Amino acid sequence: MHENFNLIIEILGTISFAMSGSFAAMQKRLDPFGVLIIAFITSVGGGTVRDLLLGIPVFWMRDLLTCGLILGTSIFAMIFKSMEKNFKVTLFIFDSFGLGLFTIIGVQKGLNAGIHPIICIGLGTITGCFGGIIRDILLNRIPLIFRKEIYASACIIGGTAFLLLTNFTMLSYTFIQIFTILLIVAIRTFAVKYHWQIPKFYGYENNSEM
């Protein structure tokens, strides 16, 4: 049961980030090949970094399902884009769900590898965020994780909640997975809606003559 639900999470996460990458690429008016590349990087970037850190085979290199899902989702997004007027909202929705889904996948992969739970939270954050970081760098944008928006913090809170609920409650494992995914999505949504921000540093201009 757990394995089947984990597969569903991975499929939904892949689709969410592939849609996110596709819409981000179309915003920049990339050609279809560029859209496909950005969708692929967004979907597998975080998981690739995670697997390299864990010293295990990179997940998508032996899994045609992941590549097929990204290709199919990208084609669907390019067809659907003629009907989609508000790219920004669509990008936000898919990016938020991808963030929640992949964070939990990363935490679980770390636990399965016998990594310390605190490090697992970091792996979850990497899995959720790094695909979007690479996407934004390639599209010449400041990655969301480096802006004032709540982004990586949502992954950390969600990963922490997942571990606490798993170890200190008797709740169903599937329920905990769903709850923490929705928690991350909710944090991102409320953060944007109510302008929650992490304090940032401001530079000081030195106008003195040297």
pLDDT digits (tens, 9 = 90+) for 99-117: 999 999 999 999 999 999 9
The predicted structure's pLDDT at residue 209: 43
Say if residue 89's pLDDT is above 90.
no
What one-character-per-residue DSSP string does 46-107 give?
HHHHHHHHHTS--GGGG-HHHHHHHHHHHHHHHHHTTT---HHHHHHHHHHHHHHHHHHHHH
Nearest CA among 206, 150, 144, 116 for reference residue 20: 144
Say if residue 163's pLDDT is above 50.
yes
Say if residue 208's pLDDT is above 50.
no
Confidence label for 6 from pLDDT (cuts 50, 70 and 90): confident
DSSP state of 194: T
Domain residues of the chain, as ranges? 2-193
pTM, whole model, 2 decimals? Answer: 0.87
pLDDT > 70 in the chain, percent: 90
